[in-house]
Structure 1
Amino acid sequence: MKKTQKNSRRRAFRLLTILTGPDRQAGLSQLIDTICARAAEGIGEQILIVPEQYSFEAERALCRRGGDTISRFAEVLSFTRLASRVFSIYGGVSEEYLDEGGRLLCLYLAAERVKTQIKFYAASLLRPEFLLQLGKMMEEFLTCCVTPQQLLTAAGQMTGQQAQKLSELGLLYESYLSVCKTGRADPVTRLSRLAETLSQEDYCAGKRFYLAGFSDFTAVQLRILDAIFPQAEQTQVYLCTDGSDNAAFRCGAQTAKQLSRMAARRNIAVVREQVSERTCRPASLELWLSQIMNTGGAPFSQPAPEVSLGQADTRAGACELAAGIVQKLTRTGVRWREIAVACTESGYVQAIKPMLQRAGIGAYYAGTTDILGKPLLQAVMSAMQAASRFSFEDVMQYLKSGFSPLEPDACDRLERYAYFWNIRGSQWLKPWTRHPEGFGQTFDEETDRQLLTLNVWREGAMEPLQTLHEAWLPGRTVSERLHALRAFLEQTHFPEIACEQTNELYRQGKHQAAQEQEQLYEILMTAMEQAELVLGAQEMELDRFLQMFRMLLGCYQVGSIPANLDEVLVSGLDGMRALQAGYLIVLGADEGALPAFSQSEGLLSDSDRRNLSSLGVQLSLFASDRLERELGWTQLALQSARKRVWLLSGSEQPSYLMARTKTLLPQCETLSRQDAGFLPDRRALCAQAIREQADWTLDPVSLQVRRELERRCVFSFTALSKEAVQGLYGRQLSLSASRLDQFAGCRYAFFLRYGLKLEPWRQASFDAPVFGTFAHYVLECTVRDVMAQGGFHETSQDAVCAIAQKYMDEYTEKFMSDAQQTDERCAYLFRRNRQEVLGIVRNVADELRVSRFAPCDEELAFSKDGALPPVYVETPEGQAVLSGFVDRVDVLDEPGGKYFRVIDYKTGHKDFDYTDLLCGKGLQMLLYLFAIERAKGTHIAAGKTPAGILYVPGRVDVERVEPGQTDEALTKQRQKKLVRQGLLLRDEQVLQAMEPGDTPVYLPYQNKKGELTGSLATREQFRLLEDFVSGSLRELTQKLFSGAVSPNPIVRGPMVSSCQYCEYQHACHKDACKPDVRYMKKVGADEFWKELERRKANG
């Protein structure tokens, strides 16, 4: 009896109504109006089927139109939810299906089973990247209702590589279905089961079905519709098409024909209706939407303020333009919820997100996100990577993730030491013994305490990672690796930390992030469970396991619902197809992105698909069909706008739709990045409001910021107060040569380094400072020892080198730890530096053998406890004390006169620069020269006449050798770079005492036909220089006491500036700091002395 009733229902008159129209909002509204009208008549069992991602908006629209009672008569379902509804009645609702991650794991198992039969894909068969592509292929086969036997049969009718490819795909497909039969089924098979159930049962009988939001249907969806049509009392389908040859609507027109043919086969009447109603929009916007995807059409002759174009050079520029538009709209009273930003690529979402956050614009980021970039999963993956290889990047990413056992301060200190000494690999598991400050430092009790603390932190952080590392020895199964990972998570209290972080996010009002965090932990547990279930017994190498687990996690997605009612919607362009927005900003209107065009997906090319189609195996769309569908989807997305649209491009090649828009609407507005008017944060926004005296609509936080800024408007920027200067530098200003040079070069850099104690991070190496310390130590000790043995005139070169070698060994024992001495890299660098320093020692010895000037002091200290007192500088603001060292002092004590000179070893390049002197730089040697002269008998050089200053090169550069160049030419070439720089007394007898002969090798002057030229100064000029140096020192000290900190870099040309190699250039915000740039041209000797005379004459 029951069977007879079913058949009679199927024989009853059935009707398929196909609604068409170019406005998808109007089409959906007409369907909902029909549903509500029949509900008012008491007709129930009405089902509106929409795509999964449209269901929320469709339910809202139905409830808004039908009221509270509409749920008694109608409901909104997707095909997947329809399957759950049917299975709950006829059985099968408890059936479990694979998710994306489970599919990947089953594919691995399926590939493992048939790998001996695979040749074409053998090289990449078990790689996660290939399995992802294979998963898309399996989904396509199932969606298109293609069987493995069809593929194998088609392969048998082909030849060559294409036959091999299809044959192997058929084998893999067959193996995959076999694996699914022993466990969970593929999710696509749920729809296949739905089609079978609907064709066998009378669920659809007496019901009315409505479909909207589809441009076309897959093969399995068509099977479902083929089961619905004969039973349903009536079926209405809306398709967005206008019946024309417009490419954007062609897909809908073809689908309408396909449904008509399917209904005809079932003897079902088909009625076509045109949706005449349109969404209310401005005339220019309506014209633009109707013609944008078409060709031809008459231009709109009137102004079109509702459609605007924007062009920027970069994505960031386009995002600034979009954010500026949002700000301008809100200032005119538009609510955030009326604005939607549709991004064509995920890169635009990532670029605009921080801009909106910083500007205080509330935004909801719709769609799915890259969960592998979330902190929780980043912590897990970085810990797994760290346990496998202990790289610096992975270890520090885990330690700073918030899930490690260390506090942030401990992480920072560990990171600094590890970065400084380039810690990686097994070095994380061994005690750290190197000095925290680098090479050449003395170990004391404080150093031992620092190392002890660092090692305690290191051991606490490495213990769980080391345990995980040892559990992940080669040859482990997936199950064993997962158990070790689970033990690691428990040992580090990962679940408790994740829960506390989620609660904290809720407390901070970050509801979207909190919702995602909750899902992420569930995803992690699900992924581990699925991997255990499917691949638990499989042996897998660690690298492949890590790749597989990362790929497995990446298969999952998280979503959230808006936490606030008033937020800007930021979505992908495809997400706008079912939404409505008053104001639509399309971000990323670039060529190839709007509309998007993609090559064929998966492992089969368009050629493969066409060949299969010719053999009766129909897969997904070809390239031309995909392009038409993309045009249709773009059209649907643009139709979400009701009041205004902006197309913004961040590329040099904007979308052709922008040119098309300009043709249709010649008077539409075109914006550039300069028109953005984007105010990057609340302060900038409020400052602009104050400048314009505008009464803008601001959120409560911004209003508070505005009131604070208005109170500060009466303030002005001033230098540091006297109290601040004393707090930063002390009551008595301590100066050194390097500090003076830094302040003379730029006040702001001095403030950052010596005031705020900011230092850029460096890695330990034998760089210039370390090499300089080493070279100075060897030269100081060698010169002192040689002079004690009778001087350089009495000591052979071999003996001098032997002395230098002794002090090199002493330096090694005294300043380098055992770990540094045994480190291969350190040992190599140190050997290379020993040879270079030995060359410097030989050069210094050669000079002193021919000179009558003899060293009398090495490392002469100017300090309270030194051989000479420091240099005191008295100013009305306070006292400053200049302390330091002179590398060497040489004296000449002969009847003809008593002289001394000051020597400085320079391991870097150093020129005696008159321009630097005028700026206050490079005063160190001159200060010490005149300080020794004024020492009044307390030093052997005191009272003698200054003979000058010399910078002795403390390095031997590698020279470029030309083919065929002789050793003599190479020696002459190298000697040129060893000539000293400096300033000497213009006195031929003194110069001859320094180096006899008319062609000096070491000194910076020349004797051309009896005329002395070069870096020379008369006695009167030295006196003039002394006054200048004293005045410059006093002036710099007064500026320091005044609290001046604003930048004042020296610019000496387009390519020469204090900022060029400044370590603090990234901390110098020139737009805010307003630097007082000092432009200086290169000054020669004559011009320099004239300037000093002018200054003396002017007082």
Structure 2
Amino acid sequence: MSLQLFLGSAGSGKSYQLYREVIEESRKNPGTNYLVIVPEQFTLQTQKDIVTMHPEHGVMNVDILSFLRFAYRIFEEVGGDDYPILEDTGKSMVLRKVVAEKRKDLILFGTNVKKTGFINELKSLLSELYQYNISEEDFEKMQEVAGKKPVLKAKLADLHTVYEGFRGFMKERYITAEEIFLVLNRVIDRSEWIKGTVICLDGFTGFTPSQYQLLSKMLKYAKKVMVTVTLDPREMIGQEGKEHQLFGLSHKTIKKLYQLAEDSKTVIEEPVYAESRSGTKVPYRFRKSEALAALEQNLFRYPYETYGKEQWDIRIHSTRDRSCEVAFVAREIKRLVREEGLRYRDIAVVTGDVKEYGRIAKRLFLQSGIPCFIDYKKDILSNPFVELLRAAVVVVSEDFSYEGVFRYLRSGMTGCTKEEIDILENYVLATGIRGHKRWAEPFVRRYRSRQPLQLDAINEIRAKFMEEIEPLYVVLKDREKTLRDYTMALYELGVNLKLEQKLEEYRRGFIEAGQPLVAKEFEQVYRIVMDLYDQMVLLLGDEHCSLKEFSEILDTGFVEVKVGLIPPGVDEVVVGDTQRTRLKDIRALFFIGVNEGIVPKAIGSGGILSDIERELLINNDIELAPTKRQQAFTDQFYIYLNMTKPKEKLYITYHKVNEEGKSVNPSFIINKVKQLFPKLSVIDESDAGEDIERVLRDDGLNYLAEGLRSYNRRETSDLWRELYLYYREDSGRRKILDRLVEGAFFVNTERGISKAAAKLLYGSELKGSVTRLEKYAGCAFAHFLAYGLSLEQRQEYKLAVPDIGTIFHNAIDHFSKRLDTGDYTWHTIPEDIREQWAIESVAYAVEQYESSVLRSSARNEYMIKRMERITVRTLWALCNQIKQGAFEPWGYEKQFNHVPDVMLSLTGRIDRLDIYEEADRVYVRVIDYKSGNTYFDLSSVYYGLQQQLSVYLSAALDYLNREYGGKEIVPAGIFYYHIDDPIVAKSDQAEEDIYKSLRMNGLVNEDKRVIGLMDSKLAGEEGRLRASAKSDIIPVETNKEGELGKRSIVATEKQLKALIDYVNAKLAEDSKQILQGASGLNPYRMGEEMACTYCEYRGACGFDSRLPGYSYRNLSKKPADEIKAEIWGECEENF
């Protein structure tokens, strides 16, 4: 029995020397068993290496196993594995149960159990207790050490309670993975196979207490034990290694192994130094690179020697962000393969954040045609099968909430098609369907839509969904059922939906699409979930639990489960983690994400036990897992191992900004390397030029696409022409190139539909509202989508701005008509009655509104109160405005049918029509209530964007001509009134300021008498206006001579009538164009105002002003006088 160490620095050939020794000895002694134990993830590679090195390329008496597989080999021989292993998922479930049962006995843990991550932290600490074989005596000692530290004492007391409860549950049922070695240590004495075996351990940086116990037994029974340890040959064996030193962990391992050998009276042979066997002090791996050898010999060493020569084997690159970092790596990998003859398998990428970088690498490497394997265990939460199961439970627990139902349906694995789900979702969104009761009954409610509502079809889809989910609902809502019943119901849901077959269809689809890793996930996930069900039932099947607890247990299981994937190919780039991934024969390594917090990894909180508490216990001979400080030194050792993996090239990269655009710092490693290599400069990839070589290295089709676009704009250089010719010669990329050219030189030539198609869509006569023609004036294509194809945004069951506007209109209308039929007028109604009626009018409008949404939430209830307040303010202002003039309301919500042309018929409703009647004439003004802040703008009228008021005035004139046939009807003005409750500065005249801010805006007849009739405060003597006055009601003010001021918005009577004629002609022209088929993309832009800004079809039209054939109609904001001249110039023949 003997112990022999194989020592050497990283890359020295320790493993090679060990394997050669094993092969030679195994050939000489065919009757002796040889066992090579390596980390789990390294077993396949070690088997390959030994078989390759063996002269016969095959071995009969050499086994390559992990510690776990070694344990099972012993159990097969002597027994001992009587109980199944409880994996992490089961641990979490049992811990949740134990903590719930012991809650009354727990001082601190009981209140934390529902905190996110607490059970996971408790599970990690429990595993640590098992791993370090913490006994009852150890707990007593820890309590003594805690002394007068009440928090630590409480933690240890709770931990002991949970530990005992957990062990009580496990007794004679299960064992944990950490207990395997304890069991193995108890039974290995009975093994005959181990006796006389030569055992080799390779690839370990250290061992746990349980593994050291096992090593002690190996030293006792094995013929020989050989162990590789990474150690600088310049350091003396037996010296006390400091934990902060690079090889402190190695010295600790050697010391412990030698102590075990002495205790078992095992012979300690002279160690084998790999460097001395190879005949050189330079590690074998770096024989082709002086720079890498210098890095290995000096990294994290004190003192160190600098390397003063120019070299290109080690490089540092900076990029803007993570995506740019990975993009650089992809470009350089392509160059190494293309120009330097490397295979993809010769290249590896390591990082401290493989999950995030792996996600980016998967996408960018695929785009660049680089085969890769992301070496990390993937969770299954995003798998559609798991998503459906979790969502099904949410549907029941949230009582058929919108989010839960459509999370379930959108999983892609139900019996409903995507089109059916869209139809159902549109209906549910519009009607606010919530709750099992409403889903269980046929839908009957209708809502306004441009599309016909097919209630029968919608109910068929509803019935299909309910047939799927109802059996699960019945079981999960029954409080008498056990967890077994819940799990069985969820299983039956999967059976009824034939989810296993659907997963197989997915798997085949991914195989055909060339995605074997995803296919492997879909192949494994059904079995994984079934195993989880089995574990839940075995552990907790007879327990009664709430639906919430069942959901938490299920989610705990899904979170814990990971899918382990094996590299599907031989020649591919491995993207891995700095600690987990094992690399072999790497020529070029990319060490990426070398930023603070990533390399070395940011270590979170100490968990349940803080670092200070751990230090206290460790200093009192309680062996536990390393503290954060100790872990930092271990991380440094792993960084050293990774940076010394490549034989020829090491690329170190970092980024400057994170995903939020905030600056981030490089890791301290960057400066360490720069100190060792003074002539090494950081290459900033964000400043790299776009020469042809770099573009080609980048697999430059993306660059070519941009170049072709710039070529089309005649803004290019010879570079893009050269690149185009390069790819043109590549037959494999010619089709892609043709599509790029087609896209780059695309010119939008679509200008509309045919006249025949327009007739089918619209008929021979155009019918609708003024808003329809205003939409056409804004963009013909938007009009086509809205009124030709009847496309509309999804209606949602919520209180939207148009809903609020409708309620305001209806409330004011109700109040106005109540005045007409009651004892009060606008002039006589008392303030308290006006306020009371205003509130009652809002209540009436809400009641009449065909939607329960108004009472569906506290927010909407608040909105009703707010609408009451605004309506009270509005009616106060309207009453005062009417009192301040001679005009009286004549009609409210007056419907009209306006026919400005034989091909056009417009319908609408005038909010309020006021008149002032004299013996031979009637003056009329039109008022339109707006809940939004709309301003009358002559430029918008001129371009057809604002036609409402003019059409309303025309319709009002027609009305009154019929009512007052013998009198002249005179237009007095057109106005918008903004329904609002404005905020003004606090002062003695606050109410006056509010009143002024509610002034109507529009266009006023400039006749001084008309102005005086509208606002008596402006009326002077003998038909004149008061000097230096400003109306509180209409947009008029006077100068010191009593004439109209420049800021007055006025027109003559003839001009007002001419405006009507102009708008009617514009409407007729636009309607003619629509019937001719005009529907091209022609959105307007007038200053900062654009048709696209609030357009509901922005996502559908494809308008892009950067592409040929797409452009805005640029409308100039013309002065009012210029517009008046043009409008009245066109209409002067009427006067």
The match for 2:934 is 910
Q: Aligned pair 1:366/2:400, yes or no?
A: no
Aligned to 2:93: 105
**Residue in 2 that maps onto 1:3:** none
User: 1:593 maps to which residue?
Assistant: 598
Q: Which residue of 2 aligns with 1:876?
A: none
2:641 maps to a residue whose letter is L
Greater alpha carbon shift after TM alignment, 167-176 vs 1057-1066: 1057-1066
Q: 1:671 aligns with which of 675, 678, 684?
A: 684
Tell me, yes or no, if the aligned pair for 1:15 and 1:234 is still in contact at 8 Å: yes
Q: 1:61 to 1:1035 in 2, by over 3 A?
A: farther
Q: Does 1:654 align with 2:663?
A: no
Letter in 2 for 1:272: P
Listed one character per residue, the Cα deviations across residues 481-511 of structure 1 (whole Å, up to 9, x for unaligned) are 3344344444554445444444444454443
Distance 2:1068 2:948 in 1: 14
Question: Which deviates more from structure 2 when the two are superposed, residues 185-194 or residues 126-135?
Answer: 126-135
Distance in 2 between residues matched to 1:565 and 1:938, nearest whole Å: 91
Q: Find 1:541's aligned residue among 546, 551, 558.
A: 546
Tell me if 1:279 matches 2:285: yes
- Given that residues 99 and 110 in structure 2 are in contact (C-alpha distance below 8 angstroms), is that contact kept between their aligned partners in structure 1? no
Which stretch of the first structure deviates more once superposed, 809-818 or 762-771?
809-818
* Paired residue type of 1:543: K
Provide the residue aligned with 1:270 in structure 2. 269
- 2:394 is matched with which residue? 385
Q: Does residue 867 of structure 1 match 2:900?
A: no
Alignment of 1:1039-1058 (within 5 A): 1043-1045=1079-1081, 1049-1052=1085-1088
2:1043 corresponds to which residue?
1011
1:370-401 Cα offsets, whole Å, 9 max, x none, are 22232222221221122122333223211211
Call closer, same or farther: CA 1:950–1:139 in 2, change over 3 Å: same
TM-superposed CA distance for 1:417, in Å, is 3.6
1:434-473 correspondence runs (5 A): 437=447, 446=453, 449=456, 452=459, 456=463, 459-460=466-467, 462-471=469-478, 473=479
Report how many residues are paired: 1060
* Deviation at residue 78 of structure 1 after TM alignment: 0.6
Paired residues for 1:738-757 under 5 Å: 738-739=771-772, 741-742=774-775
Contact residue 375 and residue 401 of structure 1 kept, 8 A? yes
Give the TM-score, by structure 1 length. Answer: 0.83
Work out which of the residue numbers 690, 701, 724 in structure 2 matches 1:693. 724
- Which of 514, 521, 524 in structure 2 is aligned with 1:516? 521
In the alignment, the residues of structure 1 paired with residue 945 and residue 743 of structure 2 have an alpha-carbon distance, to the nearest angstrom, of: 38
Where in structure 2 are the equivalents of 1:191-340 lying within 5 Å?
Answer: 191-243=181-233, 247-265=245-263, 266-276=265-275, 277-280=283-286, 282-288=289-295, 290-294=297-301, 296-304=304-312, 306-312=314-320, 314-316=321-323, 318-319=325-326, 321-322=328-329, 337-340=345-348
> Partner of 1:414 in structure 2?
424
Q: Greater shift after overlay, 684-693 or 1087-1096?
A: 1087-1096
Identity of aligned pairs, percent? 22
Farther-moved stretch of structure 1 (336-345 vs 935-944): 935-944
Q: Distance in 2 between matches of 1:252 and 1:131?
A: 34
In structure 2, the residue corresponding to 1:271 is in which secondary structure? coil
Task: State the alpha-carbon separation in 2 of the partners of residues 765 and 1005 from structure 1.
Answer: 40
Distance 1:580 1:431, change over 3 A: farther
How far did 1:656 drift? 1.6
> Aligned to 2:800, which of 762, 767, 780?
767
Indicate yes or no: 2:962 matched with 1:951: no
How far did 1:226 drift? 1.8
Partners of 1:991 and 1:600 in 2: CA distance: 76
8 Å CA contact 1:912–1:981 kept in 2: the answer is: yes
Contact 1:310 1:670 in 2 (8 A): yes
Residue aligned with 1:76, SS: strand
Letter in 2 for 1:922: Q
What amino acid is the match of 1:30? Q
Between 1 and 2, higher relative CO (CA 8 Å, sep ≥ 6) is seen in: 1
SS in 2 for 1:869: strand
What is the CA-CA distance between 1:159 and the residue it aligns to?
1.6
Aligned partner of 1:399 among 401, 409, 419: 409
Decide whether aligned partners of structure 1 residues 1001 and 172 sit closer, same or farther in structure 2, where only a CA change above 3 A counts: closer
1:4 counterpart residue number? none
Residue by residue over 1:559-589, the C-alpha shift from the partner in whole angstroms, topping out at 9 and shown as x without a partner, is 1223345554333333434345454433432
Q: How do 1:440-589 residues align onto structure 2 when only pairs under 5 Å count? A: 446=453, 449=456, 452=459, 456=463, 459-460=466-467, 462-471=469-478, 473=479, 476-565=481-570, 567-579=572-584, 581-589=586-594
Q: Which SS does the other structure have where 1:379 is aligned?
A: helix
> What letter corresponds to residue 637 of structure 2 in structure 1?
G
CA apart distance, 1:735: 7.4
Shift of 1:315: 4.3
Query: Which digits, 9 at most, give the CA deviation of each residue in 1:974-1013, with x for residues without a partner?
Result: 3223211111122112222333331643212123441223
Contact 1:307 1:644 in 2 (8 A): yes
Equivalent residue of 2:975, what SS?
strand
3-state secondary structure, aligned to 2:600:
coil
Structure 2 CA distance for partners of 1:540 and 1:979, relative to 1, 3 Å: same
Q: Is the 8 A contact 1:586 1:647 kept in 2?
A: yes
For 2:846 and 2:453, the matched residues in 1 are separated by: 21
User: Secondary structure of 2:749's partner?
Assistant: coil
1:909–1:793: structure 2 CA closer, same or farther, 3 Å change rule? closer
Find the aligned partners of 2:779 and 2:468 in 1 and give their Cα distance: 42
Classify 1:58/1:946 alpha carbon distance in 2 versus 1 (closer, same or farther; 3 Å). farther
AA at the equivalent of 2:800 = D
Q: State the shift of 1:368 in Å.
A: 0.7
Q: Does the aligned pair in 2 maintain the 1:792–1:848 contact within 8 Å?
A: no
Worse-superposed segment, 53-62 or 642-651: 642-651
How far did 1:427 drift? 6.1
Distance 2:1084 2:703 in 1: 29
Pick closer, same or farther for the CA change 1:767–1:977 going to 2, 3 Å.
farther
Instruction: Return closer, same or farther for 1:795/1:122 CA change in 2, 3 Å cut-off.
Output: closer
Counterpart of 1:261 in structure 2: which amino acid?
A: Q
Q: Is the 2:19–2:50 contact (alpha carbons within 8 Å) kept by the matching residues of 1?
A: yes
Structure 1 stretches lacking a partner, 5+ long: 1-9, 873-878
Write the distance in 2 (CA, Å) between the matches of 1:118 and 1:788.
Answer: 74
- AA partner of residue 763 (structure 1): E
SS at match of 2:568: coil
Evaluate the alpha carbon distance shift between residue 221 and residue 788 of structure 1 in structure 2; reply closer, same or farther with a 3 A threshold: closer
CA distance in structure 2 between the partners assigned to 1:564 and 1:1046 by the alignment: 53
- Residues 36 and 70, structure 1, Cα contact 8 Å, conserved in 2: no
Distance 1:891 1:122, change over 3 A: closer
Residues 827 and 56 of structure 1, relative CA distance in 2, 3 Å threshold: same
For the 8 Å contact 1:597–1:627, the answer to whether it is kept is no
The change in CA–CA distance for 1:701 and 1:621 in structure 2 (over 3 A counts) is farther
Distance 2:858 2:113 in 1: 42
Give the whole-Å Cα distance in 1 for the aligned partners of 2:176 and 2:266.
34
2:140 to 141, 146, 152: 152
Q: Are the structure 2 counterparts of residues 973 and 290 from structure 1 closer, same or farther at C-alpha, using a change threshold of 3 Å?
A: farther
**Comparing 130-139 and 279-288, the one that deviates more:** 279-288
Deviation at 1:131, TM superposition (A): 3.5
Give the residue type in structure 2 aligned to 1:1016.
V
Change (3 A) 1:750 1:606: same
| Corresponding residue for residue 717 of structure 2 | none
CA displacement at 1:639 relative to structure 2: 3.4
Tell which deviates more after alignment, 850-859 or 817-826.
817-826
* Alignment-derived partner of residue 86 in structure 1: 74
Please state how far the C-alpha of 1:769 moved relative to its aligned partner.
0.9
Give the corresponding residue for 1:706. Answer: 737
